Amino acid sequence: MPVTSNNKTGNIKKAKNYIKKIGLVGFLFFLVKGLIWLFVFLFIKSKV
């Protein structure tokens, strides 16, 4: 069965959406991680 151009564009759109989701999840992960470290350092500084 030959692959049609519609099937290819559909797969490309799915791949782009998947990459966007991974990018958003990665961004949020590192944002939260950075904020947690800031709070940890502020907490340690306030105890010293």
* SS3 track for the chain: CCCCHHHHHHHHHHHHHHHHHHHHHHHHHHHHHHHHHHHHHHHHHHHC
pLDDT at position 5 over 70: no
Tokens of 18: 């998947």
What is the predicted pLDDT for the residue at 3? Answer: 53
Q: Which domain holds residue 38?
A: 1-48
Could you give the number of structural domains in the chain? 1
What is the predicted pLDDT for the residue at 38? Answer: 96
What is the predicted pLDDT for the residue at 2? Answer: 56
pLDDT tens digits along 10-48: 888 998 898 888 999 999 999 999 999 999 999 999 987
Assessment of whether the complete model's pTM goes beyond 0.75: no
User: Residue 32 and residue 35: Cα distance in Å, rounded?
Assistant: 5
What is the predicted pLDDT for the residue at 28? Answer: 95
User: Residue 41 and residue 48: Cα distance in Å, rounded?
Assistant: 11
